[in-house]
Chains A and B, each alone.
Chain A
Amino acid sequence: MEINLLGPALLFGFSDGCIFFLVSIGLSLCFGVMRIISLDQCAYYLLGAYITYSVTLATGSFWLGILVTMGLVALLGLGVERVIYKNIYSKSITYTMIVSFGLLLFITGVTKFIWGLSPIPVKAPINGSVTLLGVGFPNYRIFIIIITFVIYLLISYFLNKTIVGKAIRAGTEDMEKVESLGIDGYKLFKITFVMACVLSSLGGAFHGPLIMVQPYMGMSIMLYMFITAVLGGLGSLKGTMIAAIIIGETMSIGSIVWAPSTIIVPFLIFIIVLMIKPTGLFGTKLLKR
Chain B
Amino acid sequence: MQRLMAETVAILIITTCLFSTADAAAKPEDAIKYRHSVMESMSGHVNAFVLIATNKIDSPQYLQNHADAIANLSSELETLFPAGSGQGDTDALPAIWDDVEKFSKAVAKMQETANSLQQVAGSGDTKAIMGAFAAAGKSCKGCHETFRAEEDDDDSDSHDHDDHEH
Report if A and B associate in a common complex: no
